[in-house]
Amino acid sequence: DADVTQTPRNRITKTGKRIMLECSQTKGHDRMYWYRQDPGLGLQLIYYSFDVKDINKGEISDGYSVSRQAQAKFSLSLESAIPNQTALYFCATSDFRGNGYTFGSGTRLTVV
Amino acid sequence: AQSVTQLDSHVSVSEGTPVLLRCNYSSSYSPSLFWYVQHPNKGLQLLLKYTSAATLVKGINGFEAEFKKSETSFHLTKPSAHMSDAAEYFCVVSPSSNDYKLSFGAGTTVTVRA
């Protein structure tokens, strides 16, 4: 099994719908992150969490929310999806030293 | 503040020839620097990292990178490209070895010609 698992792998949704992307990890890392990848822009940080009770906004958090259900689970929600949220979304984990970033395989989200 | 500039959006090489991917960074601190590779429909895989030890860093799959503080560069090289090296490569900077704030370059797409 992968160290960081994202579900679903692909999703098409309609404008205005609520959608949740899920991430689970077996690395035992405390830190978890959600990134968004757009062509030509690299990855941008949406939200990050240092532990279950510590959640922080990243560079582009507007229109997104997150939930850290357990040390191993970190979900990203789009409350009302819009077309410019069409992107590839990555979950990642790291240890407290900032080492060992591990990325999931990504969720490709299309909002029509 | 920190930022990363990958100087080439696309690099095309022939199989067996050297690969050079250029990366310049700016950082107010002594940064940690990384190169990640992303194959099609895959997640990001760490190639190598620099964290203030040796300036020449060796990574997986024959890649290496040299940290040059005076030039604020961290270029990635491989002596002989293989078809399997076709992928997108990201240069990434973190302000220090214990900081979560990764800044990603825009990426360089590598194509390898037979």
pLDDT value for B96: 64
Nearest residue of chain B to residue A4 (CA atoms): B43
Contacts of B99 in chain A (CB under 8 A): 98
Considering CB atoms only, which of B94, B101, B105 is closest to A42? B105
Sequence letter at residue B86 = A
Question: For residue B17, what are the contacts with CB-CB under 8 A and spacing of at least 6?
Answer: B80, B81
Cα–Cα distance for residue pair B98/A31, rounded to 1 Å = 12
The residue among A28, A15, A9 whose CA lies nearest residue A90 is A9
Do residue A40 and residue B101 have CB atoms under 8 angstroms apart? no
Q: Closest Cα to residue B90, out of B21, B30, B27, B16?
A: B21
Instruction: Indicate yes or no: CB of B102 within 8 angstroms of CB of A101.
Output: yes
What are the backbone dihedrals phi and psi of residue A43, each rounded to the nearest 5 degrees, phi first?
-110, 140
Per-residue pLDDT band at B29 (split at 50, 70, 90) = confident
**pLDDT value for A101:** 84
Closest residue of chain A to B6, computed from CA coordinates: A42
Digit-coded pLDDT (tens) for A47-97: 999 989 999 999 899 999 999 999 999 999 999 999 999 999 999 998 876
pLDDT in tens, B59-105: 999 999 999 989 999 999 999 999 999 999 999 988 765 566 788 99
Instruction: Tally Cβ neighbours within 10 Å of residue A103.
Output: 23
Q: With bands split at pLDDT 50, 70 and 90, how would you rate the model's confidence at B23?
A: very high
Are B90 and A42 an interchain contact pair (Cβ–Cβ within 8 Å)? yes
* Model confidence pLDDT, tens digit, residues A13-58: 999 999 999 999 999 999 999 999 998 888 999 999 998 999 999 9
Among B42, B44, B94, select the one facing A98 at the smallest CB separation: B94
- Distance of alpha carbon A56 from the chain centroid: 13
How far apart, in Å, are the Cα atoms of A81 and each of A75, A89, A107, B16, B98?
Answer: 15, 14, 15, 46, 34
Measure the CA–CA gap between B108 and B24, rounded to whole angstroms: 13
Q: Which of A42, A94, A98 sits opposite B106 (nearest CB)?
A: A42
Structure tokens given for B73 = 């560069």
The CA distance from B105 to the nearest CA of chain A, in Å, is 5
> Which residues in chain B have Cβ-Cβ distances shorter than 8 Å to A50?
100
